[in-house]
Chain A
Amino acid sequence: MSDGGDLLTLDGLTKAYPGVVANDDVSFAIAPGRIHALLGENGAGKSTLVKTVYGLVKPDTGTMRLAGADYTPASPQAARAAGVAMVFQHFSLFDALDVAENVALGMEDPPPRRQLARRIREVSRDYGLPLDPGRIVGDLSAGERQRVEIVRCLLQNPQLLIMDEPTSVLTPQEVEILFRTLRQLAAEGTAILYISHKLEEIRALCDSATILRLGKVVATCTPAEKSARELAELMVGTTLATPARAAGGRGETLLTLDALSQPALGPFGTPLREISLEVGAGEIVGIGGVAGNGQDELLMALSGETRVRRDAIRLRGAAVGHLGPVARRRLGLLTAPEERLGHAAAPDMSLTENAVLSAHVRQRLARRGFVDWRRAKDYAEHVIAAFDVRTPGPGHAARSLSGGNLQKFVIGREVMQKPDLLVVNQPTWGVDASAAAAIRQALLDLAAGGAGVIAISQDLDELMEISDRFAALNEGRLSPPRAAQGLTVEEIGLMLGGAHDMEVAHAH
């Protein structure tokens, strides 16, 4: 073969959107049986590139060759027909349909239901990914949902499997099992394009890596030969500062959760079961867990969006469980939810208006029912300056900010109100590395100033970096918190609820 045995060759791919060049002259090649990493920050152009390979985006210029032939997929169907399969970052699954129906939807020519169910069982057993074809996807754990996606791909015997950020929602044990499956696939000759920003995983798994920055290829390397720090600096283009933490003891108890329980909200929600926790002044308690184990419910119970038993939540000894968000804010219990657009901020309102929404009580931005717009604008500008939010001004709509900048604003808006206790959910989700570092530093500074912080996150590295104590949410139950220092990955994995019975499957 003229391509030197490569399965997929990308040559000079360029794709521009109004105002931004997502991919700029990107070229690289993947050989059969190799695991190739695509590394880069959010906005570096990874997603656009894989969407091009999967036929969802048409490149402006450049060519692709697959197995020695020209490859110009017009649609995902065409890509699948050519032997390219993709597991999406945000699962492309249908909650109300069952596993077999979800798999059938991703296939060009699905066999009859009974036969399909049998093949799902076979493939999932062969690759150590047990699945029951009859279960409703909405009831599955994140790891099981990913298995549905992978099995859907495997049933089509792909030559190239694209994995977009596959491990962001998995426990460490589930990651191990996924890696075994991927290595088995690679050994069988399937090429894998693996997208991630988790550097240790890439160093452990991938044979080669292409690093993208601002749409351009900045380096191609063998990840095992580089340190995680070198890879990170290639991605970001500058040296990275590690958040500094001041050593400080735990002060008086600020918040007490006493057997906090709450029924599930909605058909696919998770009930909270007897959650007990104490948070002291000056400490950060990290709460880890795979998505959908009660994180949103816990945040809503703490913010006051859902009311609970009076003394299930006590702030400085005073029962606040029955109070709504405004009353809790007045007492010093502040929250910043996960979803930036629509929950933490109103997308079409200006930053000033968004500042008023959460800060009017503590910053006295409203008097006798009238908003004091001058004070509100000053406060918004104050947050923008202190948190280095990149925006032309506080009059701009929240929607117009990039994810990282808006996240800095919504976290800053709470931090600047000098809370006694701040609860954040996924504080750095989808935020670039430098903004994430700034947000983590702000949380550390807040705790150093004597406030208590609860950080709910699925990013274990983040939690290990900032928390003093660590607890895990699993099916609405909270494990007893343990000192974060010295916790091993295996211990954390066990706290997160293990790997949902997957060990057994791989033992055979």
Chain B
Amino acid sequence: MTGAIDPALLIASLMVAATPLVLAAIGELVVEKAGVLNLGVEGMMIVGAICGFAIAVESGSPLAGFVAAAAGGAVLSLLFGVLTQVLLSNQVATGLALTLFGLGISSLMGQSYVGIKPPGTPRLDLGPLSDLPFLGTALFSHDWVVYFSIALTAAVWWFLNRSRAGLTLRAVGENHDAAHALGIKVIAVRLMAIAFGGACAGLGGAYLSLVRVPQWTEGMTAGAGWIALAIVVFGAWRAGRVLLGAYLFGGVTVLQLNLQAAGSALPVEYLSMSPYLITIAVLVVMSARRGRARLGAPASLGRVFHAAS
């Protein structure tokens, strides 16, 4: 039944499918490490998708599109940042509102872009590596964004665990009152983290509209932002595991598509449900297994910081 699936192509499409999740999840990881729960990832992704698509089409340059997507996501996330950090609104409600707002404004912005093909993002020529049998097809024949997302994960790991600024950021997420008492500017750190998260989500969205699909349709993120949020929990707030989680979820998505194409006996609806069902199952298992998993969770996550005195 699955004989029609070529493993090398499967891995290749897995990496492509996982890349938007990697980008969005690694951004959200930094946001949550700073103690902020931004549930608006889906909204920021789709705004990034349309910003990137529109600019890429207008300028003819996919790179300009990705830059615009990052900027769009960051701007939208800063709206969330100002509301929650400066005006002290509730993070959960504001995050949900951000998703709805993002879905709405993106379909408004995208009205004249439906049905257009964006400029293509070329594959990176890795010379002899791309010509390797199997590995060449599976790993070394992708566009630059795929490699960028992996490099970004490594950079975020280094930042969080090795740099002074990353230590400050973790301290803010761990105990914002103590951080304030030490003279760390809690709100400034969090706003920067939120903007970074927004930019990453925007990039993830643009990857969907410019490379993976590639075209613009309303609501095209189809829950990818929610899966990214789940991946952060799944990865226990660690960069490496977040990457692993994103590839796992990407794999499930690709596999179900391939099974559909291969004419699986299971009804299509069940197959398309599977990534989301697995998301829920993983979250349940993770939260049931207390102790160690919780160690990674920033202690001030989602709590409102109000500087006394």
Contact = CB atoms under 8 A, between A and B. Distances in A.
8 contacts: A57-B309, A88-B181, A93-B175, A96-B299, A97-B170, A105-B168, A266-B294, A267-B294
A76 B299 contact: no
B102 to A, nearest CB: 32
Contact of B164 (A51, A56, A104): A104
B178 A92 contact: yes
B174 A94 contact: yes
B183 A76 contact: yes
A97 B160 CA distance: 12
Given A95-B299, A104-B167, A105-B168, A56 B174 contact: no
B292 A267 contact: yes
A77 B183 contact: yes
A51 B181 CA distance: 9
A332 interface: no
A106 B164 CA distance: 12
B295 A96 contact: yes
Contact of B291 (A55, A95, A267): A267
Given A110-B164, A266-B294, 7 more contacts: A56-B309, A93-B175, A94-B171, A96-B170, A101-B167, A105-B179, A105-B182
A479 interface: no
A267 B183 contact: no
B171 A97 contact: yes
Contacts of B178: 88, 91-94
A55 B179 CA distance: 14
Contacts of B170: 94, 96-97
Contact of A96 (B174, B181, B182, B309): B174
A263 B168 CA distance: 33
A424 to B, nearest CB: 27
A75 interface: yes
A256 B179 CA distance: 44
Contacts of A267: 290-292, 294-295
B181 to A, nearest CB: 4
A96 B237 CA distance: 13
Interface residues of B, number: 22
A106 B167 CA distance: 11
A417 B295 CA distance: 41
B34 to A, nearest CB: 13
A51 B171 contact: no
- Prevailing SS type, chain A contact patch: loop
Most A C-beta atoms less than 10 A away, residue of B164, B181, B292: B181
Contacts of B175: 92-95
Contacts of A96: 170, 174, 295, 298-299
Interface of B: 164, 167-168, 170-171, 174-175, 177-179, 181-184, 290-292, 294-295, 298-299, 309
A20 B182 CA distance: 26
Contacts of A106: 182
Contacts of A75: 183
Nearest to B177: A92
A88 B177 CA distance: 12
Most B C-beta atoms less than 10 A away, residue of A57, A91, A105: A105
Contacts of A266: 290-291, 294
A51 B309 contact: yes
A369 to B, nearest CB: 31
Contacts of B167: 97, 101, 104-105
Contacts of B184: 105
A193 B66 CA distance: 56
Minimum-distance CB pairs A-B, first 8: A76-B183, A92-B178, A94-B174, A92-B181, A77-B183, A75-B183, A94-B175, A267-B295
A74 to B, nearest CB: 10
Most B C-beta atoms less than 10 A away, residue of A48, A76, A96, A267: A96
B181 A55 contact: no
A91 B175 CA distance: 11
Contacts of A110: 164
A105 B171 CA distance: 8
Contacts of A77: 183
A11 B101 CA distance: 55
A170 B122 CA distance: 65
Nearest to A73: B183
Contacts of B177: 92
Contacts of A105: 167-168, 171, 179, 182, 184
A112 to B, nearest CB: 10
Contacts of B292: 267
Nearest to B296: A96
A106 B180 CA distance: 11
Given A76-B183, A88-B181, A267-B295, A95 B309 contact: no
A330 to B, nearest CB: 31
Contacts of A56: 181, 183, 309
A283 B74 CA distance: 64
A293 B181 CA distance: 26
Given A97-B171, A104-B164, A92 B291 contact: no
Nearest to B170: A97
Given A110-B164, A266-B290, A267-B291, A92 B309 contact: no
